[in-house]
């Protein structure tokens, strides 16, 4: 997808700014634009569809929890399709519709600062979701500990390579350079890989987290470092799957590859032995935490986080590394995010049986 120009994003930000005079004249009424707390409007703005999680899990889970907390409240869900200017326009739209709170997973963490400032000028609370917004202090932040995620997938890979007495170096496939959470994951990865004794052959920041771009880059590195790649640390399952695809397309053995998000396709790759690990961070946890925070805000209450990140009260949860050794218990067991009948399809039945999964 074409990256929006700075001019386009600036224009969208200007459109948001055009709302400011109305907010300045009547900030009190703007803040109550969603009506009574029992019938408030709450926006849920997600960043892209490249990762299947937002449509399949985040939005439905958030809506379900909000319905449980506030049967009369309305959730206005929008997905920006990895377009920062579109997300600015969506924020402008929901503000005009009188939302009392905005839950936002930003496409571009820097560009989203203008959304935070505009919403807050209208007395609308902003909850940063999954990805922080460092340039502006949101009212709350809900996520898993992204720096720890990077450290965990990196260390898991390093430990495995050492156990297997692997030789060679590591490729690092990071997330989007405009995503502050991706930068935290990247920092965590380096904390594990840099002192590991394995050479970092090359690394890449994947624009928009787009798997196709990650695959293209990995393909080039396979040609450049043929026979020297011991493993690939990828920041999420989309880029991890892209790395796996690149090795298969090159007709060479797939080295251990990491991931993050515990997507269904990643679980199947792990079971088949194509992907080494992923991170289980049950979306239900963050979706419901965000709903609880939004509900508190619309009632005039202030939720308390368990830490502070970028000056924002934050609620950060600890994830779990998933490999073949524990996938049955963590992802497919009672209360797991995935169901065995969806994962262990005909194509993966033999591999599932080998691991005792059913």
In this prediction, residue 334 has a pLDDT band, given cuts at 50, 70 and 90, of confident
- 119 with 265, same domain: the answer is no
**Residue 78 bridge partners (DSSP):** 45
In this prediction, residue 21 has a pLDDT band, given cuts at 50, 70 and 90, of very low
DSSP strands (E only) in 40-95: 41-46, 74-79
Distance separating alpha carbons of residues 251 and 298, to the nearest angstrom: 55
- 277 with 228, same domain: the answer is yes
Residue 295, in any domain of the structure = yes
- 203 with 265, same domain: the answer is yes
Percent of residues, the chain, with pLDDT higher than 70: 90
- 164 with 231, same domain: the answer is yes
Number of domains in the chain: 2
Q: Which domain holds residue 311?
A: 41-144+283-317
- 236 with 138, same domain: the answer is no
Residue 204, in any domain of the structure = yes
Distance separating alpha carbons of residues 329 and 280, to the nearest angstrom: 11
Model confidence over 91-147: pLDDT tens digits? 999 999 999 999 999 999 999 999 999 999 999 999 999 999 999 999 999 999 999
- 311 with 336, same domain: the answer is no
Residue 4, in any domain of the structure = no
Distance of CA 282 to the CA centre of its chain: 12
pLDDT at residue 1 in the model: 38
- 251 with 275, same domain: the answer is yes
Model confidence over 58-84: pLDDT tens digits? 999 999 999 999 999 999 999 999 999
- 229 with 297, same domain: the answer is no
pLDDT at residue 36 in the model: 75
Residue 13, in any domain of the structure = no
Give the CATH number, domain containing residue 254.
Answer: 3.40.50.2300
Residue 333, in any domain of the structure = yes
What is the 3-class SS of 194-213, one letter each residue?
CCCCCCEEEEEECHHHCHHH
What's this model's pTM, rounded to 2 decimal places?
0.80
- 153 with 263, same domain: the answer is yes
pLDDT at residue 83 in the model: 95
Residue 97, in any domain of the structure = yes
CB count within 10 Å of CB 21 equals 9
- 230 with 347, same domain: the answer is yes
- 177 with 229, same domain: the answer is yes
Residue 1, in any domain of the structure = no
Poorest-pLDDT segment among 8-22, 97-111, 148-162, 309-323: 8-22
- 199 with 339, same domain: the answer is yes
Strands 169-174 and 229-234, sheet pairing: parallel
Strands 169-174 and 200-205, sheet pairing: parallel
């Amino acid at each position: 997808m074409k990256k929006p120009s700075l001019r386009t994003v600036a224009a969208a930000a200007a459109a948001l700014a055009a709302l400011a005079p109305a907010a300045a004249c009547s900030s009190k009424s703007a803040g109550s634009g969603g009506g009574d707390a029992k019938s408030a409007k709450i926006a849920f703005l997600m960043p892209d569809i490249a990762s299947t999680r937002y449509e399949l899990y985040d939005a439905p889970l958030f809506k379900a929890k909000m319905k449980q907390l506030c049967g009369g409240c309305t959730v206005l869900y929008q997905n920006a399709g990895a377009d920062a200017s579109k997300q600015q326009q969506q924020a402008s739209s929901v503000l005009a519709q009188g939302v009392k709170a905005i839950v936002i997973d930003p496409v571009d963490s820097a560009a989203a600062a203008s959304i935070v400032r505009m919403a807050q000028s209208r007395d609308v609370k902003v909850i940063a979701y999954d990805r922080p917004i460092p340039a502006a202090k949101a009212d709350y932040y809900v996520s898993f500990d992204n720096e720890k995620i990077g450290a965990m997938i990196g260390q898991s890979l390093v430990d495995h390579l050492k156990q297997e007495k692997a030789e060679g170096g590591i490729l690092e496939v990071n997330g989007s350079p405009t995503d502050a959470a991706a930068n935290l994951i990247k920092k965590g990865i380096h904390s594990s890989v840099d002192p590991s004794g394995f050479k970092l052959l090359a690394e890449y920041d994947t624009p928009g987290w787009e798997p196709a771009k990650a695959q293209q880059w990995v393909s080039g590195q396979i040609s450049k470092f043929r026979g020297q790649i011991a493993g690939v640390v990828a920041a999420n399952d989309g880029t991890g799957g892209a790395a796996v695809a690149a090795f298969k397309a090159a007709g060479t053995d797939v080295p251990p590859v990491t991931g993050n998000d515990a997507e269904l396709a990643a679980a199947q790759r792990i079971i088949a032995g194509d992907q080494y690990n992923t991170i289980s961070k049950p979306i239900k946890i963050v979706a419901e935490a965000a709903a609880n925070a939004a509900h508190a805000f619309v009632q005039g209450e202030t939720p308390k986080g368990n830490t502070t990140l970028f000056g924002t009260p934050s609620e950060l949860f600890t994830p779990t590394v998933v490999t073949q050794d524990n996938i049955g218990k963590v992802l497919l067991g009672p209360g797991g995010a995935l169901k065995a009948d969806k994962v262990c399809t005909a194509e993966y039945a033999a591999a599932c049986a080998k691991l005792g999964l059913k």
